[in-house]
Amino acid sequence: MDEKERVFQERLKKLRDDYTARLPTFLDALDALAKTLETAKTEDERRSALEGIQSDAHKLSGSGATFGFAKVSDDASILEQLAVATLQGSSGVSSTIFSQITQILEDIRAASDDSPKQTDTLTPPPNRPLQDGDRLILIEPDPTQARRIESELSNFGFKIERLTSPRDLIAALEHKGVSAILWDSDFFGENQSLLQNNKIGDALKKFEIPLIFLSENSSTKARLAAVRAGCDAYVLKPFNSAEIVDILDELTDKREANPYRILIVDDDEDMANFNKVILEQAGMIVDVISNPLTLLEKILDFTPELILLDLYLGGCTGIELARVIRQNNAYTGIPIVFFSTETEQESQLDALRQGGDDFLTKAIGHRKLVETIAIRAKRFRSLNLLMVQDSLTGLLNHTATKQALETEITRAQRTGTEVAFAMLDIDHFKLVNDTHGHQVGDWVIKNLSRLLKQRLRKGDIVGRVGGEEFALVLPGATEQDALTAVNQMRIAFSDIEHQSPDGEFHCTLSGGIATYPTNATAMALTNAADQALYEAKGNGRDQIVLFNADKTK
């Protein structure tokens, strides 16, 4: 058992032990409600006691089996149904009904005395090395060629480690996070047997590391040999860095870059925390809330890709909460999966009609829970990317960038923080297209987009808002913070050597920066940054200008 699995099992054991220790106290509270029901003097007192019994029985029916007390869940479900039927009836609490409640409570107490049975377990996802940014291994015999590749790719933020022998590859894979391997096929023939080495083959599969061959040989025979060696891409010499970057982006995008973000809304703390552990073990990021009135604020802060929502909550129902979520246009696409002990099909269908995307019972196995949530979250992410991404760069498109800016301003209003917004434009870009062609122009745009993504902090937002125009949303950044960061990007972009059939060339960048709360709305912020960009262009380009309201008066 590896360390991750050991920690996981320890967390589950602690949750089970804590639940088992608290169970008698929970049952005492149910007994107290039954006594209140028996001695109630008014209809309001009886109804309050019955509602308490129904609520506690609902939680117990959902959590019992999860923590190894299957019969407790079964009996609690019967008690819940009896309480609901009595609340909906008109005859009140008869002696027969009270006797039934008492008997069921005795059955639950007896079932709780049994030792909990182990529930199904999860196999953790395979361990993968930490990806250290964009670290590449280069196997290249020609020192001149190696220096050129290292120089060009370093402009895009790649860290290159050159190996003098492929035999060093196993150690490099095992001890360092690697994003891809570039292997000169002219250096491959005599070392072909190395890729048949189980250690190398296993490492490439285990760590999902792309293998890219560089070659002067375009024959089918050479390409077939590369495929049999496990090659993921085959690049013909001479090549330029933009081709390699395009391939690297495509290959690495096939892997999930970020874990799914799941929000659990459940007022049963035991169930919520247990499912949190299960989903975290499967590699997801999970947050939990028990108070439904904090939901919209949490969605804004956490930006979930799926909401796991209990059907019955204190103070409201899950259906009501789903309708509140769907009232907000920004949240209409977030998958809502109802999670409840409810087994009546019509109730489940009604929940789906009111805004849900799926319905799971709390008796579901851990594996099915994880797989169902992963499928739904993956579908949401894929559809969301189609709607918000720019097709050329993979950055946010104009509409999504605007929405992201409005979201950050709303958050800043609530937290009392600042937001910096920058508009950037590639200088003389029309001349690039006219001189070198539109394909080279696309490479320049992609080069800048990659540079911006690499240089931004976690939580910063970058979008392509026009042909050669980009926008940055920098939450929490002051004017000077933004000016320093964007100027560093400007300098780094001017250092990049862009490739074309006519030779190498450089481009420069101009930008304008404005901040909230000096500019109080998204529109005001955008207009101010645009004015500052216009000033940078008018002052000779290749510079970043801060918006100055006094100059507009």
pLDDT value at position 522? 93
pLDDT value at position 477? 94
Instruction: Indicate if 276 and 249 belong to the same structural domain.
Output: no
pLDDT value at position 472? 97
pLDDT value at position 205? 66
Instruction: Indicate if 458 and 409 belong to the same structural domain.
Output: yes
Better-scored residue on pLDDT, 394 or 261: 261
We report the CATH number of the domain holding residue 295 as 3.40.50.2300
471 burial type by CB count under 10 A (0-12 exposed, 13-18 middle, 19+ buried)? buried
Confidence of residue 517 (pLDDT cuts 50, 70, 90): very high
Instruction: Indicate if 69 and 152 belong to the same structural domain.
Output: no
We report the CATH number of the domain holding residue 21 as 1.20.120
Q: Mean pLDDT, to the nearest integer, of 395-421?
A: 92
Is residue 51 over pLDDT 70? Answer: yes
pLDDT value at position 195? 53
Instruction: Indicate if 379 and 430 belong to the same structural domain.
Output: no
What are the tokens at 115?
A: 């030792």
Q: Mean pLDDT, to the nearest integer, of 229-251?
A: 79
| Distance separating alpha carbons of residues 75 and 112, to the nearest angstrom | 11
Answer yes or no: is 475 within a domain: yes
Q: What mean pLDDT is reported for the chain?
A: 84
What are the tokens at 223?
A: 């390409």
- Give the model confidence (pLDDT) of 1-32 as tens digits: 678 788 888 888 898 899 999 999 999 999 99
pLDDT value at position 257? 57
Q: Mean pLDDT, to the nearest integer, of 401-423?
A: 92
Q: Which of 54-68, 402-416, 452-466, 529-543 has the highest mean pLDDT?
A: 529-543
| Distance separating alpha carbons of residues 150 and 157, to the nearest angstrom | 10
Instruction: Indicate if 65 and 92 belong to the same structural domain.
Output: yes
- CA 404 from chain centre, in angstroms, equals 16
What DSSP letter does each residue of 271-338 carry, written as one string? HHHHHHHHHHHTT-EEEEES-GGGHHHHHHHH--SEEEEESEETTEEHHHHHHHHHTSGGGTTS-EEE
Among 46-50, 121-125, 398-402, 424-428, the minimum mean pLDDT is found in 121-125
Answer yes or no: is 124 within a domain: no
pTM above 0.85, yes or no: no
Is residue 243 over pLDDT 80? Answer: no
Contacts of 266 (CB under 8 A, 6+ apart): 272, 275, 288, 290, 308, 309, 310, 313, 339
Answer yes or no: is 173 within a domain: yes
Is residue 286 over pLDDT 70? Answer: yes
For residue 79, what are the domain limits?
3-112
Instruction: Indicate if 478 and 537 belong to the same structural domain.
Output: yes
Confidence of residue 154 (pLDDT cuts 50, 70, 90): confident
In the chain, the number of structural domains is: 4
pLDDT value at position 107? 92
Instruction: Indicate if 402 and 496 belong to the same structural domain.
Output: yes
Instruction: Indicate if 414 and 377 belong to the same structural domain.
Output: no
Dihedral (Cα; 351, 357, 363, 367), 10-degree rounding: 180
pLDDT value at position 223? 87
From 388, 422, 441, the end of a domain falls on: 388
What are the tokens at 298?
A: 């949490």
Instruction: Indicate if 92 and 235 belong to the same structural domain.
Output: no
Is residue 385 over pLDDT 80? Answer: no
Better-scored residue on pLDDT, 531 or 227: 531
Is residue 431 over pLDDT 90? Answer: yes
pLDDT value at position 123? 47
Is residue 88 over pLDDT 90? Answer: no
Answer yes or no: is 512 within a domain: yes
Give the single-character DSSP code of 126.
P
First to last CA, the chain: 69
